[in-house]
Structure 1
Amino acid sequence: MRVLVIGAGAWGTALAVSAARDGHRRVSLWSRDVAQAAEMGSLRQNRRYLPGMELPVGLHIAHAGDAPLAALAQAQDLVVVGTPMAGLRSTLSALAGVRVPVVWLCKGFETAQPGAQGLLGHEIWAQLAPQHLPDASCGVLSGPSFAQEVARGQPTALVAASPHADVRDAMVRAFHGPSLRVYANDDMVGVEVGGAVKNVLAIATGLCDGLQLGLNARAALITRGLAEITRLGLALGARADTFMGLSGLGDLVLTATGDLSRNRKVGLLLAQGQTLQQAVDSLGHVAEGVYCARTVVQRARHLGVDMPIADAVVALLDGALRPDEAVGRLMGRDPAAEL
């Protein structure tokens, strides 16, 4: 099987490494940065994003100077877009005319433009498909996963979501292996909503832990956060049961509690008194929750969905609330039934 992973960040590299461990797959990792690709090829490691992790001998390194991206993609059995959410639209546009399955790894909403709502990945695809991708099919690979652990071969479970059975099967064949278990799901909307909104809620949980509010408070935030994810997902057409799976509850628990979580780290740093810019600059990687929080709240309000935790996170990120005030807003809400 021929697999192309576009984007040599931590997550794209980790999945490429995992897939390339199986000699039955020919895996290529594509970087737009020619210098980065040359270094990975010579040193056999991605020093910027996964330092110390040896790249398998069978992993081919490609770059923007090799050939047009669409031509390289057309020769594959599966194309995997591993860019941040901000790069998804331009990458899909660059794949104009490709007739093989295209899936993505990014979790979030596209930043809203003036006069428009920010979109999930499948909504971006729907805009582009009539013009550029008429015969191809799409999907998303998601779930609770830190890149470092996947690259090291530690046990991980993911969900391959697509309305197309052949795309789900392609993702399973590309990535299922001894240390990576891949489950199939046809609820692509639910999987994308879970992957996007949990990043926002992880900021809230990091704030909670940074303020040392206790384990009771953390459990409450995670549980009520899952309710917010589910409400928004149902309003967008997802199934409720999806949010009790890997891309809902599983990804939320990992991102809200794991020390490797960038979004949780943002909340911790804000609780320590850092500014948002200081917190983001210290990460060295993208924290998708920072960039999609406003879009999550915008979409929720448009649909009449109540998301008080996400609302408080946006107010915190915008500087409208201090960390202690955000907590006070949530605790001061009127009593309500658990829904």
Structure 2
Amino acid sequence: MNISVLGCGRWGSFHAWYADKIGHDVVLWGRPGSKNLAELRDRHANEYLQMPESVELSDDLSYAVERADIIIISIGAQQLRSFAGQLAELPIKNKTFVLCMKGLEIGTGKRLSVVMREEVGPEPDIAVWVGPGHVQDFLKGIPNCMILASDSDEVTARLVPIFHGPLIRFYYGKDLLGTEIGAAAKNVVGLAAGMLDGVHYGSLKGALMARGTKELSRLIDAMGGDAMTVYGLSHLGDYEATLFSPHSNNRRYGENLMLGKPSTKLAEGVYTAEALMALSKEYNVELPISRSVYEIVCCHKEPKAELERLFLRSEKEE
């Protein structure tokens, strides 16, 4: 199978490495002038992995798209709409796109598959690949479970055996809406977990996990998805990797914020918190954890006071 990976950051380079490892012919694309691509070309490695020589590196988007049967996209979620607009000008009618990002579009709150569909039209198949796992662990040979979902059972069933391998066991996602909302929102909960670590309130992570899943289940239900999806791999199943792992950019960002340290790695949860506020208003669903994170990271409220207000709210039924 010819697979092209668009985006050569941490996850993009991993997806290229993984697709090559399970036997596919892989092109890894980066933007012209990309520092990540330049590093890979220079030494066929980055800070995470050694890229096999069999993975072709390219900055030619037309070439990467035209030679692929399946196209994996791994870029910042807020870049997707403009990037998809570029893809729409290329011959993509019979391609299958797999979105390997977690986020919601700020300003609209739209899911990434919706953003993609609006830009590329009805023809190409679109799926999402989410779930727990860290590049650092996969490179050590530590396996994990992930999920593939689309709005077509046929597309999902076709993709799972293509990507299944000894490192990743894939499950079939039946609820694309819930899968995408859960995957995006767990990064917001990850920010909250890091904040708790930063003020040495780690014992509250249990409450954070319980209440985080509950508030997101209400949102998914109000949007027309399956409320139980949030308890699967896309959200609750990803909590260990997001709320506790030292590799989690979102958890680290929240902790650094409390400690007054700068963060250099992208924390998609910052944008997602803003997008969730739009959905909270649109669907009239209270999201107290997401709102507190939004107030801290976007409105610059005093973090410790906001966290204490969140967890010491007035008495109510669970």
Tell me whether the two structures share a fold, i.e. TM-score over 0.5: yes
1:42 Cα deviation after fit: 4.3
SS state at 2:225 partner: coil
Q: 2:148 aligns with which of 147, 152, 160?
A: 160
CA deviation profile, 1:49-87 (whole Å, cap 9, x unmatched): x2xx211232121213xxxx2453133121111111022
> Contact conserved, 1:15 with 1:175, CA < 8 A, in 2?
no
Residue in structure 2 matched with residue 313 of structure 1 by the alignment:
293
Structure 1 segments (4+ residues) deviating >3 Å? 33-39
Instruction: Say yes or no: does 1:249 pair with 2:240.
Output: no
Residue in structure 1 matched with residue 98 of structure 2 by the alignment:
103
1:18 Cα deviation after fit: 1.2
Residue in structure 2 matched with residue 17 of structure 1 by the alignment:
17
SS state at 1:159 partner: strand
Aligned partners of 1:247 and 1:135: how far apart in 2?
26
SS state at 1:178 partner: coil
Residue in structure 1 matched with residue 121 of structure 2 by the alignment:
133
Residue in structure 1 matched with residue 252 of structure 2 by the alignment:
265
Aligned partners of 1:70 and 1:182: how far apart in 2?
30
> Contact conserved, 1:158 with 1:183, CA < 8 A, in 2?
yes
Aligned partners of 2:123 and 2:19: how far apart in 1?
26
Residue in structure 1 matched with residue 26 of structure 2 by the alignment:
27
Residue in structure 1 matched with residue 52 of structure 2 by the alignment:
56
SS state at 1:33 partner: coil
Change in Cα spacing, 1:151 to 1:175, as seen in structure 2 (3 Å) is: farther
1:230 Cα deviation after fit: 1.1
TM-score, normalising length: structure 1:
0.87
1:254 Cα deviation after fit: 2.0
Q: 1:78 aligns with which of 70, 76, 88?
A: 70
Query: Which structure 1 residue ranges, 5 or more long, are not aligned?
Result: none
> Contact conserved, 2:58 with 2:64, CA < 8 A, in 1?
no
Please give the root-mean-square deviation of Cα atoms over the aligned residues, in Å.
1.9
TM-score, normalising length: structure 2:
0.92
> Contact conserved, 2:22 with 2:163, CA < 8 A, in 1?
no
Match runs of 1:1-339 below 5 Å: 1-23=1-23, 25-34=24-33, 36=35, 37-47=37-47, 50=48, 53-64=49-60, 69-96=61-88, 97-99=91-93, 100-112=95-107, 117-128=108-119, 132-215=120-203, 217-272=204-259, 274=260, 279=262, 282-283=263-264, 285-338=265-318
Change in Cα spacing, 1:321 to 1:176, as seen in structure 2 (3 Å) is: same
1:38 Cα deviation after fit: 4.8
